Amino acid sequence: MLTDKTGDISGFLKTTHIFQNVPLAALEEAAVRCVISHPRRGAILYRKGNSAKFMYFLRQGYVMESVNYRESVDVIVKVKCPGDYFGETAIMTDMEYQNTAIVTEDANLILMPKETFLRLAQSNYSVCSVVIRELVERLTNSAQNMVNSMYLDAPGRLAFTILNLTGVADKRHIREIRVTQGALAASSGMARQTAAKVLSEWRRDGWIATDRGKLCVLDVDRLLNIILNSELRC
């Protein structure tokens, strides 16, 4: 019998990109084994090197994936927003988590056990197809990041990092992230003081807005132009 909780979970899973082509009946069966979690801001979902036990689906809040550089600086890998999911790569490759996931705003998460996700992936090719496409995109982004580190100047790298993390390529959708200047600077390969100066200029010009550790992009075109001009100067 389908309970309200199971129906709530399976209904949300069906809206995610990775499960959109999976039959609802299969998701309802998987939902029985899932857990709903409400971690608070600052909670660590897992650390780099932990065994992969769950796949995570974010319904509310924000989660930051990061890696530690030289044991002192967190470099942001990705900021997860409502509707996003993570942890699938470690589960499918039977490896440890390759980064650390930290809740940056009180969250509502669905945790799917490793065995449950693998069962869905094995019986639904569409799941594997989505994961493969996303892995290719990540490799492409990694290559682009490497090129940026060599050919973009400091403002160009910072603009690229912000647009990449906020996911505002679609100019009709303005998204904000919770992130520190130190983390942005480390992720852009620059000194914190340099990042603070550039962000201050952009804030004064009305291109971005910041408030208590949050950053929101207000003018996507301006940041895109910074990247383009940075490339042209090289």
Instruction: Assign residue 26 the CATH number of its domain.
Output: 2.60.120.10
Q: What is the pLDDT of residue 187?
A: 83
Do 105 and 192 belong together in one domain? no
Question: What pairs with residue 102 in β-bridges?
Answer: 44, 64
Residue 47 pLDDT exceeds 90: yes
pLDDT confidence bin for 79, thresholds 50/70/90: confident
Alpha-carbon span 35 to 44, nearest angstrom: 17
148 and 103 together in one domain = no
Q: Is 64 part of a structural domain of the chain?
A: yes
Considering 124, 149, 165, which residue would you say is the last residue of a domain?
124
In a domain, 130, yes or no: no
**Residue keyed to tokens 């996700």:** 117
Asked if 154 and 183 sit in the same domain, the reply is yes
Among 63-77, 159-173, 200-214, the range with the most confident prediction by mean pLDDT is: 200-214
User: pLDDT per residue over 113-164, tens digit each?
Assistant: 999 999 999 999 999 888 888 777 766 666 666 666 677 888 998 998 888 8
pLDDT of residue 101 exceeding 50: yes
Residue 169, pLDDT above cutoff 60: no
**Mean pLDDT, residues 47-71:** 88
In a domain, 195, yes or no: yes
Tell me: pLDDT of 72 over 60: no
157 and 78 within one domain: no
Residue 172 has pLDDT above 50, yes or no: no
In this structure, are 115 and 13 located in the same domain?
yes
**Nearest by Cα to 178 from 106, 104, 109:** 104
Which one has a higher pLDDT value, 230 or 205? 205
For residues 1 and 115, state if they share a domain.
yes
pLDDT at residue 36 in the model: 96
Q: What is the pLDDT at residue 108?
A: 97
Domain ranges, residue 227: 139-232
146/176 same-domain check: yes
Residues 82-109 have a mean pLDDT of 92
- Does a structural domain hold residue 129? no
My answer on whether 2 and 107 are in the same domain is yes
Angstrom distance (rounded) from CA 74 to CA 142? 17
Query: Quick check: is 59 in a domain?
Result: yes
Tell me, what CATH number does 152's domain have? 1.10.10.10
Please tell me the predicted confidence (pLDDT) of residue 179: 83
Rounded-to-integer distance, Cα 234 and Cα 50, Å:
41
Does residue 201 sit within a domain?
A: yes
- Domains identified in the chain, total number: 2
Q: Are 153 and 201 part of one and the same domain?
A: yes
Q: To the nearest whole number, what is the mean pLDDT of the chain?
A: 86
Which of 124, 159, 174 is where one domain is finished? 124
Looking at 124, 155, 190, the residue that finishes a domain is: 124
- Whether residue 117 sits in one domain with residue 218: no
Is the residue at 18 inside a domain? yes
**pLDDT band at residue 165 using 50, 70 and 90 as cut-offs:** confident
* pLDDT value for 134: 79
Whether 112 and 207 map to the same domain: the answer is no
Check residue 54 and give its pLDDT. 96
Percent of residues, the chain, with pLDDT higher than 70: 86
Is 189 in a helix, a strand, or coil?
Answer: coil
DSSP-derived pairing of the beta strands 208-211 and 214-217: antiparallel
Do residue 97 and residue 181 come from a single domain? no
Q: Within a domain: residue 132? A: no
State pTM to two decimals.
0.75
